[in-house]
Chain A
Amino acid sequence: MKKMPLYKTGLDLYTEKLDNGLEVFIIPNHKVHSVYAQYTTKYGSIHNKFVPLGEKEMIEVPKGVAHFLEHKVFEQEDGTNASDFFANIGADDNANTSHYRTTYLFSANEDFQDECIEFLQDYVEHPYFTDKNVEKEKGIIVQEIEMYMDNPGSVLFEGLSYNVVKEHPFRYSIIGTEKSVNSIDKDILYRCYNTFYHPANMFITVTGNVDPEHVLKNIKKHQKNRAIEPFKDVEIPMYDEPDEVFKEFEEKKMNVTIPRLGIAYKFNVEELMKKYNLPIEDVTKYISMYFSLKTNTTSELYEQLENEGLLTYSMGGESVYLDKHAIVYVYAIAKDPKTILEKVEESIKNFDITEETFNRYKKATLADLIGCTDSIYEMSEKVLNDVVNFSEVRLDYIKKVEDRKYETFKNIANELDLSNRSVYIIYPEKD
């Protein structure tokens, strides 16, 4: 097992890859009384076209399977639910599905770590799907879909993603649609499970008050007894995502009082990556920093919009990346979304961030990162995201932020092609 310090955190990462391909990542924290573990498969909503394990032809499954599978994995053969086990010892458990991965997790008192880690592996590794239990889940998931349909933040993100991305399955809702969910059956579930829930495609992350040697020993013991097929990376299509967006503008009426504006910019970053010798995640971070500094509460733009009475609420954003494109989302809750849109677009074209501002923002970001190291949940998420995105944990993530350069930032921001963007506005139903 390798032990490696995480730069400036005061924490160590312990990691080992087991014979069957499963990777284990442990960050002990002896200041807390709890243990948090996540068992993750690199299988998410985007993987709806793939070559199943042992086969040759590519298949396509209905949208929402990864999420449906997440619900069904909890079902036990004796009719109980995996959550019952955790509840019996007062632990919390949950699961969630995103575009690129599905994870099953628990948070428990340190006294129960052994049985919880054991059971976590157990229930995730023993699927039990029947026609009856699959049918029953449909009603529940449809209710979940309807709950999200009433959530403007959800509608905005999904609407924008569908319109800004043209080919890549990132554009589709993780949960699927009522129609697609109703077309899922147990055979589809088993096929997806058998392909993606292979230990070589999965990893376990443990944080909290644990002894790494002890945790690893128990996991190894459990994993040794599994009969495993040989694995090779799952073949999925290469999506040739074009630079242009699918749809430039969309409006929707919903039960909101104040309109919501969403803008998604898509950038082809291949040239930038080559020119500055940076991987896509770093280029995306610089771009996202630029948008943040231009639109957050420390920005001139924000102050102007507030003073002009155009923005009484908030502005925010996030960023993602696909193979060679970075996508930045900008959100605003404001009465006159079209004017906000105009002003944001105008402002973004004009680079005016000083080195002083850049350094101050860096200082604040670093303070945040140090503060987060207290949290066994934040550290677990960091490991999880790194492994899903990069297949390794980045030990020097704080150093990377320290090393960010104003010159690089300025150059990248000035070279952005802002012409590929999509806008989504949610208006109130009553005018």
Chain B
Amino acid sequence: MNYKKITTNGYNLHMVKTDRFKNVYLKISLKERLNKKNITRRNMIVNILPLATKENPSRRKMEISSEELYNVGYSMGNVLSGRFNIMDLRGSFLNEKYTEKGMTEASLKFLFDIILNPFSKDGGFDQKIFNHAKEKLTDDINSFKDNPKRYAMLRLCQLINKHGPGSYNGFGYLEDLEKLDSKNLYRYYKKMIKDNILDIFVVGDIDFKEIADIVSRLYKYDRTPIENGTHYITYDKYRKKVLSVSEESTFTQSTLMIGFKIEDVSPYERQYVASIFSYILGGSADSRLFKSVRENNSLCYSIYSSIASVSSILSITAGIRKENFEKAVGLILSEVDKMQKGEISDEEIEQARLTYINSLKELEDSPSAIINMYVSREYINYDLLDDRFINIDKVSRDDIVAYANKLHLDSVFLLEGGNNNEEDASL
């Protein structure tokens, strides 16, 4: 695997050459410091851009063109990453050697057009497209609560962070959506293209010179990228008394969320120790939580822990029956407590380490894992593959226990279900 980075004209082009894939993969990332009002704007843009470009001014034309280009795949998304907001375009296309000459440039042009040449009219987005995107985003925001685990996670984050970037809903806000129109949104889009930090990633059996050449021809833009900053949200105050909140819902099953604030730990702890800890606690069917809450007590089907590194939160999620709430919480906290006291076996540690190492060995097999590695190096200064192998080997029991004791239990949230009449599960 060969990597080359070119910094030019206000963007970074990251290229990875590998002969493993029949497809070529593209990611274009635009990031800016998280501003609550812009979440909704960016979600609208992400709903609008893939629908139409100057050359293909309708969804149908876009889809037909993509099929004609041997099924170029494309999608966009906007995510919150701690103190930043990252908009992505992801694309893929079959390597030209399997289709026909000229397809590499044609496919890249199709993809770049999505970001650079939207279908606009009179200084704004096309009104019909704008209206459609607005309706879709309205539906999305209203449906946020339809997924119990997603909703419960947001509520937990809001309990932990009353205000500020940790408390925002990544789907956006209806009150902000109301204030948008096709012209003021287009103005924001123009500004965003100019000042967001831009990184382009291309992975596949590519020629560096050819790709750099094509990109420089496609991307001619005046850019004034804004200053960078840290993605990390960190804490220095912790609750003395756990905040426990429950909310009724009409779901069948209850969702239990337990959240811990994580102290401002070192890069080594963030990247390595945290993973090992979370894996042992609740990262597999062999984990402490799985064994205790599911296998030994039959209280749930699904239970896991997860660390949001940039937000410095460790969360534990479980799908339970509401009458088992106290028992489940007790069992979960007991497992965390044991780890804090050092009750961790060597087998558990080695198993977690081995899992991490195996995923490193397989990283080069996955285009998205390759891209994510370079994204995390670029954005949060994570190590590359060679250093990851070296550092994961260093993680010791003392490291894990020290990390465990940097967790501060903050909030418990229960999204109560089972409030309807119990019906026999259909048939």
Contact = CB atoms under 8 A, between A and B. Distances in A.
Contacts of B21: 374
B427 A34 contact: no
B427 A109 contact: no
Given A83-B286, A143-B320, A257-B146, A312 B135 contact: yes
B299 A257 contact: no
Interface string B312-351: 0000000111000000000000000000000000010001
B70 A367 contact: yes
Interface stretch (B184-192, B216-224, B361-369, B399-407): B361-369
A367 B357 CA distance: 34
Contacts of A140: 294, 298, 300-301
Contact of A147 (B128, B319, B351): B319
B139 A312 contact: yes
B424 interface: yes
B427 A87 contact: no
A90 B355 contact: yes
Contacts of A54: none
Main secondary structure of the interface of A (DSSP, over half): helix
Contacts of A373: 22
B176 interface: no
A158 interface: yes
A91 interface: yes
Contact of B63 (A144, A298, A335): A298
Interface residues of B, number: 66
B252 interface: yes
A172 B427 CA distance: 7
Given A363-B70, A370-B98, A149 B145 contact: no
Interface in B290-310: 294-295, 298-302
A90 B425 contact: no
Contacts of A90: 351, 353-359
A150 interface: yes
A361 interface: yes
A137 B298 CA distance: 7
Contacts of A313: 136, 139
**For B148, B298, B357, which residue has the most chain A Cβ atoms within 10 angstroms?**
B298
A429 interface: yes
A146 B358 contact: no
B178 interface: no
A339 interface: no
Interface string A193-207: 000000000000000
A33 B365 contact: yes
B60 A177 contact: no
A173 interface: yes
Contacts of B148: 150
A162 B426 contact: yes
Given A306-B132, A370-B94, A89 B354 contact: yes
A370 B253 contact: no
Contacts of B353: 90
A278 interface: no
Interface string A176-204: 01110000000000000000000000000
Contact of B302 (A31, A147, A255): A147
Interface in A131-146: 136-141, 143-146
Nearest to A309: B135
Contacts of B94: 367, 370-371
Given A33-B364, A374-B23, A429 B294 contact: no
Contacts of B145: 255, 257
B142 interface: yes
A150 B58 contact: no
A360 interface: yes
Interface in B192-206: none
Contacts of B355: 87, 90-91
Contacts of B64: 298, 360
B267 to A, nearest CB: 23
A309 B148 CA distance: 28
A368 interface: yes
Nearest to B253: A146
Nearest to A176: B425
B193 to A, nearest CB: 26
B239 interface: no
Nearest to B64: A298
A88 interface: yes
Contacts of A251: none
Interface string B1-42: 000000000000000000111110000000000000000000
A143 B285 contact: no
B71 interface: yes
A363 B60 contact: no
A83 B64 CA distance: 45
A258 B353 CA distance: 44
A256 B146 contact: yes
B210 interface: no
Contacts of A31: 19-20, 365
Nearest to B320: A143
Contacts of B128: 307
A149 B361 contact: no
A302 interface: yes
A307 B321 CA distance: 44
Interface in A92-137: 93, 108-109, 136-137
Sorted nearest first, the 3 A-B pairs with minimum C-beta distance are A90-B354, A139-B298, A87-B286
29 contacts: A32-B20, A33-B364, A81-B285, A87-B284, A87-B351, A88-B354, A90-B354, A90-B355, A109-B362, A140-B301, A143-B319, A146-B319, A147-B253, A149-B252, A162-B426, A177-B425, A296-B63, A297-B60, A298-B60, A298-B67, A299-B60, A303-B60, A306-B132, A363-B70, A364-B67, A364-B70, A364-B71, A367-B71, A370-B22
Given A34-B358, A155-B426, A257-B143, 14 more contacts: A31-B20, A87-B284, A90-B358, A91-B358, A93-B285, A139-B299, A140-B300, A148-B425, A150-B148, A162-B427, A307-B128, A309-B132, A312-B139, A364-B70
Interface of A: 31-34, 63, 81, 83-84, 87-91, 93, 108-109, 136-141, 143-150, 152, 155, 158-159, 162, 171-173, 177-179, 255-258, 296-300, 302-303, 306-307, 309, 312-313, 335, 360-361, 363-365, 367-368, 370-371, 373-374, 429
